[in-house]
């Protein structure tokens, strides 16, 4: 038995040991950033239901976070190209600490507009955090990019434990202000993220380097188009269902806040636990096969979500949703990351995240409205539209075209 454990453990130890310090720091920061995101996913819609002047506006603060993520990504990438990643990351974390503190204070005051303001600011912070995975991918060789991206997303496992625990246990910490304590807890979490990235060592950008190909050149490549569509629609579909789930579980099915926290917790675990092996799977089976697997998982999500409204139906649907998101997002990010040369990465990554989070913002904004208008079943069925589009571009992109573009980095 000890020998078998050693046999299994050695590859995993080698996997961890092979990652450079930059990837480790990005992973820690990702875990802490996602913890804050999880706290917001669990509590923001419920807090909005208390503060909003109309019930359909309950998810507006969370939805607007994705809007500000979208608006922040391109400016963040341009600032990183000029000043480097480290200072932009640290400013982003400082904004997160400020934003979550404003959210908590808004709940104490009962001020919906102030709560929305804090949510918008938090989205700006998350916009800078989206580049953690790219910073990791840029620090390794082309062949190791899928593993580096997967490794950073492993930080979400920490978030899956810490985020829901803070959301649930601190929700009543402030008397007469439900959920305020959770947002103050989120502010404390980000202090540790600041410390993790304060010692980050990334070479400053070379401002004299050639700018490389124009953005239009990337949109003409099959690899970039496939990666962008898969990442954007896969993320949007996940965000769409995840935004509405707390309202459905707590306010419609009346299952309680603890059950809601557990469903979201295991959803997040499913989002990030596969990162132990997703990078290796992409390298072994190829991007097209992984996109197919992720799409099939999304199909199962729809089936389970429509099958019933018990705790286990929500649990299964959200768990599979997280797993499918991981396959699609890691694969899409890998395609985007490998196509750009060093001088082009800032613009390409910024433009791609602008597109991705534009779709995420639209999906999140429409989730609360559609849930109120057509109910849970109608909401779930509408996910077949982005799933169908993913499969269409998958069918239209043969492996031969991807192989021809593989060495463009």
Q: pLDDT value at position 204? A: 66
Average pLDDT for residues 35-53, to the nearest whole number? 85
Which of the four pLDDT bands, split at 50, 70 and 90, describes residue 205? low
Range name among 93-97, 199-203, 317-321 with the lowest pLDDT average: 199-203
Question: Do residues 352 and 360 lie in contact, with contact meaning Cβ atoms separated by under 8 Å?
Answer: no
In a domain? residue 210: no
Which of the four pLDDT bands, split at 50, 70 and 90, describes residue 102? very high
In a domain? residue 2: no
Q: Which residue has the tokens 């996913």?
A: 41
What is the tens place of the pLDDT at every residue in 397-408?
A: 877 777 666 644
Pick from 41, 32, 93: nearest CA to 63: 41
CA 23-71-49 angle, to 5 degrees, is: 100
Is 70 exceeded by the pLDDT of residue 270?
Answer: yes
Is 70 exceeded by the pLDDT of residue 39?
Answer: yes
In a domain? residue 298: yes
Average pLDDT for residues 236-255, to the nearest whole number? 83
Write the CA distances from 19 to 58, 195, 340, 342, integer angstroms: 42, 20, 21, 20
Cβ neighbours of residue 183 under 8 Å, at least 6 residues apart?
Answer: 39, 43, 100, 101, 103, 104, 107, 118
Quote the domain boundaries for residue 115.
Answer: 12-205+215-405
What is the tens place of the pLDDT at every residue in 14-38?
A: 555 667 778 888 888 988 998 998 8
Average pLDDT for residues 314-336, to the nearest whole number? 90
Q: pLDDT value at position 253? A: 72
Write the CA distances from 368 to 176, 245, 357, 406, integer angstroms: 26, 10, 17, 40
Q: What is the DSSP letter of 18?
A: T
Average pLDDT for residues 83-99, to the nearest whole number? 93
Q: 10 Å Cβ neighbour count for 112? A: 19
The CATH number of the domain holding residue 103 is: 1.20.1250.20
Q: pLDDT value at position 112? A: 94
Pick from 322, 158, 130, 172: nearest CA to 245: 322
Based on the number of CB atoms within 10 Å of its own CB, is 339 exposed (0-12), middle (13-18) or buried (19 or more)? buried
Q: Which residue has the tokens 């929500």?
A: 314
In a domain? residue 42: yes
Domains identified in the chain, total number: 1
Distance (Å, whole) CA 408 – CA 398: 17
- pTM for the complete prediction? 0.73
In a domain? residue 35: yes
Write the CA distances from 106 to 68, 169, 228, integer angstroms: 19, 19, 37
In a domain? residue 7: no
Please give the residue that has the higher pLDDT: either 309 or 304. Answer: 304
What percentage of residues in the chain have a pLDDT greater than 70?
88
In a domain? residue 31: yes
In a domain? residue 1: no
Distance (Å, whole) CA 334 – CA 133: 10
The CA R_g of the chain, rounded to the nearest whole Å, is 20
Is 50 exceeded by the pLDDT of residue 9?
Answer: no
């Amino acid at each position: 038995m000890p020998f078998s454990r050693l046999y299994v453990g050695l590859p995993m130890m080698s996997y961890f040991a092979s990652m450079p310090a930059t990837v480790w720091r990005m992973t820690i920061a990702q875990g802490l950033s996602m913890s804050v995101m999880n706290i917001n996913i669990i509590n923001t819609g419920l807090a909005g239901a208390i503060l909003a002047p109309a019930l359909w506006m309950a998810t507006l603060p969370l939805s607007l976070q994705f809007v500000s993520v979208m608006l922040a990504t391109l400016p963040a990438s341009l600032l990183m190209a000029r000043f480097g990643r480290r200072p932009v990351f640290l400013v982003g974390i400082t904004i997160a600490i400020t934003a979550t503190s404003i959210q908590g204070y808004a709940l104490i005051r009962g001020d919906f507009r102030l709560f929305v303001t804090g949510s918008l600011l938090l989205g700006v912070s998350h916009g800078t955090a989206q580049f953690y995975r790219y910073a990791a991918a840029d620090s390794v060789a082309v062949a190791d990019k899928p593993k580096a991206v997967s490794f950073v997303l492993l930080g979400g496992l920490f978030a899956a434990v810490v985020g829901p625990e803070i959301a649930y246990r601190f929700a009543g910490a402030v008397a007469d202000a439900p959920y305020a304590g959770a947002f103050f807890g989120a502010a404390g979490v980000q202090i540790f993220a600041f410390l993790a990235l304060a010692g980050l060592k990334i070479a400053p950008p070379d401002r004299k380097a050639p700018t490389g190909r124009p953005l239009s050149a990337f949109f003409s490549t099959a690899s970039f188009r496939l990666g962008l569509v898969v990442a954007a629609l896969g993320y949007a579909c996940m965000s769409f269902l995840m935004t509405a789930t707390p309202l459905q579980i707590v306010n419609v099915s009346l299952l309680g806040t603890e059950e809601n926290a557990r469903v979201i917790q295991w959803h997040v675990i499913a989002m990030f636990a596969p990162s132990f092996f997703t990078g290796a799977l992409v390298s072994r089976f190829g991007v097209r096969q992984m996109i197919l697997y992720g799409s099939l998982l999304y199909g199962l999500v729809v089936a389970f979500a429509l099958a019933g409204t018990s705790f286990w139906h929500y649990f299964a649907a959200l768990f599979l949703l997280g797993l499918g998101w991981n396959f699609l997002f890691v694969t899409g990010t890998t395609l985007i990351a490998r196509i750009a040369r060093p001088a082009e990465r800032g613009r390409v990554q910024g433009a791609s995240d602008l597109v991705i989070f534009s779709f995420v913002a639209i999906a999140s904004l429409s989730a609360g409205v559609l849930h109120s208008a057509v109910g849970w079943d109608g909401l779930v069925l509408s996910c077949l539209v982005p799933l169908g589009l993913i499969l269409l571009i998958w069918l239209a992109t043969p492996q031969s075209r991807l192989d021809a573009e593989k060495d463009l980095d």
